[in-house]
Amino acid sequence: MGQEPPRLTDRRALAARRARAARLAAPARFLHDTARTEIDERLAEVNRAFTAPAVVSGDPGAWRQWRGALVVPDEPLLALEPEAHDLVVHAMALHWADDPVGQLVQCRRALRPDGLMIAVLPGGETLTELRSCLAEAELAVRGGLSPRVAPMGEIRDLGALLQRAGFALPVADSLRLSVSYASPRALLHDLRAMGETNVLSLRERRGLRRDVLERAEALYAARHPDPEDGTPGRVTATLEIVTLTGWAPHASQPRPLRPGSAAARLADALGTEERPAGDTAGPSGD
């Protein structure tokens, strides 16, 4: 038998970082706040009352009071009963999943027919400044790279996960935020307070060397200053929040027609003259 491929996430380290963040007097939860706002706005546009919601999250405290939902951890095997919910939210945790499609499949199975799933997660533009500065600093100081920031999917690839998981009417969109920090070090402290520091399975266990960190901070401050604040050393960080929406299949949902089954011609609907493919002659025949 072949070797099992390496896992993306060190789940034990992730649990420890999250527990440490939860013990803080003021854990950083503004991304969860943003996710809730995005979800609430979408639900306000759906003409339906959801009575049995569930939330999958690595930070239960951020969602415990939301709509009376059942909150379960983002373990590889989700503690959700089949067809027990009319709304399932996967909240700011899918980027750490070794099997994101498996997570979405489990969410779909937990939905009643025509139930709604909304997943909110960081997208590929998130922390792009930090990634580039860390990579350049490590190359300059050490002559090589090590995994520092979790890979985050592009919106097109993330949207495709919905179809692979069997959702109907899939939609993917994103929100791009620019967040101001007093310094690059303040950004790193905020990531620590979110429980979002490096827990990649292939990371170096020794942590980030001081000389690499100082080089990265200098690069960051020089290249990404806050243009609106102007305070020396103040920087900006890009955060992209991707929202994936899909429905559990149901017979009442609209479906595309089979090829050749149209009952009316498109040319008639548009009031134009139908010509064979390749015929580009104008109205006068020239």
Look over the chain and give the mean of its residue pLDDT values, rounded to a whole number: 88
CA 52/CA 71 separation, integer angstroms: 11
What pLDDT shows up at residue 1?
Answer: 47
Q: In what order do the strands lie in the sheet with 168-181?
A: 70-72, 53-57, 85-91, 111-122, 235-247, 168-181
Per-residue confidence band for 12, with pLDDT thresholds at 50, 70 and 90: very high
Q: Is there a contact between 123 and 158 (Cβ–Cβ < 8 Å)?
A: yes
Which is nearest to 18 in space by CA: 83, 66, 75? 75
Q: Each residue of 186-224: pLDDT tens digit?
A: 999 999 999 999 898 888 777 788 999 999 999 999 999
For residues 149-155, give the mean pLDDT.
83
CA 172/CA 38 separation, integer angstroms: 13
3-class SS of residue 164: helix
CA 175/CA 122 separation, integer angstroms: 10
CA 161/CA 165 separation, integer angstroms: 6
- Percent of the chain clearing pLDDT 70 (strictly above): 87
Q: Is there a contact between 197 and 148 (Cβ–Cβ < 8 Å)?
A: no
Q: Each residue of 229-245: pLDDT tens digit?
A: 878 889 999 999 999 99
CA 93/CA 14 separation, integer angstroms: 11
Query: Residue 161: CA atoms inside 13 Å, Cβ hemisphere, count?
Result: 27
Q: Which of 55-59, 141-145, 231-235 has the lowest mean pLDDT?
A: 141-145
* Entry pTM: 0.84
Strand 85-91, strand 53-57: pairing: parallel
Q: What share of the chain is helix, strand, coil (3-state, %, to 5)?
A: 35, 20, 45
Sign of CA dihedral 13, 147, 155, 167: negative
Angle, to 10 degrees, between the axis of helix 155-164 and the axis of helix 100-109? 50
For residues 138-164, give the mean pLDDT.
87
For the chain, the straight-line distance linking the first and the last C-alpha, in angstroms and rounded, comes to 69
Residue 260 pLDDT > 70, yes or no?
Answer: no
What pLDDT shows up at residue 3?
Answer: 56
> Structural domains in the chain?
11-254 (3.40.50.150)
What pLDDT shows up at residue 140?
Answer: 92
CB atoms within 10 A of CB 106: 20
Question: What's 227's DSSP letter?
Answer: T
In the block, which residue shows the tokens 């002559």? Answer: 143
What pLDDT shows up at residue 150?
Answer: 77
CA 242/CA 158 separation, integer angstroms: 8
What pLDDT shows up at residue 152?
Answer: 84
Q: Each residue of 173-190: pLDDT tens digit?
A: 999 999 999 999 999 999
Per-residue confidence band for 130, with pLDDT thresholds at 50, 70 and 90: very high
Per-residue confidence band for 283, with pLDDT thresholds at 50, 70 and 90: very low
Residue 268 pLDDT > 70, yes or no?
Answer: no
For residues 100-111, give the mean pLDDT.
97
